[in-house]
Amino acid sequence: MPVDLPSSLLFLGRLLLGGAFVVAGLRNVQNEAFLTGLMTARGVPQAKLALWAGIILQTIAGALVMAGIWTAIASAVLVLFLIVATPMFHNFWDHQGPDRASRINGFVGNAALAGGFLTLMAPSL
């Protein structure tokens, strides 16, 4: 465990960012049927296979970020994941009222997560 403040903050940041994706991946397992139906309705081919690929990707990459192993690569993978998943699940432009507001919040939240991962990648470049 790091002892200086910058290292401790980086460690905590990695735990929070990566942990969000580990938790999301595990939650997606529980919601497999609903998410597969949603992805099918959005025209995703092989929706169940795509969902499981996403679950595995986000869980493993999130765990790597948490552990500080291949952080830049795992962060890049999660940015790409967000680029694909965000418009699929937070398509606010197709909704109105409170549902639209909720999807806008999810879209903005995912943009912020992408910013966090880009920040983790920067020192490696």
Q: Across the 125 residues of the chain, what is the mean pLDDT of every consecutive 10-residue run?
A: 82 96 96 95 94 97 97 97 93 90 92 96 90
What whole-number distance in Å separates Cα of residue 57 and Cα of residue 52? Answer: 8
What whole-number distance in Å separates Cα of residue 3 and Cα of residue 9? Answer: 10
- State pTM to two decimals: 0.90
Q: Give 14-39 as a DSSP string.
A: HHHHHHHHHHHHHHHHHTHHHHHHHH
What's the token pair of residue 36? 């597969």
Report pLDDT for 124.
87
Residue found by looking up tokens 């403040």 in the block: 5
Residue 35's Cβ-count burial label (10 Å; 0-12, 13-18, 19+) is buried
Instruction: Kindly provide the b/e burial profile for residues 52-83, where b requires at least 16 CB atoms within 10 angstroms of the residue's own CB.
Output: eebbebbbebbbbbbeeeebeebbbbbbebbe
Report pLDDT for 119.
95
Report pLDDT for 1.
55
Query: Could you tell me the residue range of the domain that residue 43 belongs to?
Result: 5-124
Report pLDDT for 2.
58
Report pLDDT for 115.
96
Report pLDDT for 94.
87
Report pLDDT for 3.
75
